[in-house]
Amino acid sequence: MHPVPAYVYVVEGTVTVEMDHGSPREYAAGSGFVESVNSWHNGKNLGQAPVKVLVVFVSEEGKKNLIRPEGQPKKP
């Protein structure tokens, strides 16, 4: 979940975004979208090709841009 606006541009591949409530949506290279604020979602690469995305968060300095569900391990 992001407590701030996040703008995403897909540079390579296709990313699938699954919302907490709703159907998964696919975004292919060359497309962009705005991620939901304060709504659980998960972006995945379900294909064989690598995915590269550019993400721009709009927030005040020092504010967190990502909140993970409790109990979920942090990724390196």
Residue-wise pLDDT for 10-42, tens only, equals 999 999 999 887 789 999 999 999 998 998 999
Q: Is the pLDDT of residue 73 over 70?
A: no
Tally the domains of the chain.
1
pTM: 0.82
Look up the domain containing 21 and give its range: 1-76
Q: What is the CATH number of the domain that holds 46?
A: 2.60.120.10
Length of the chain: 76
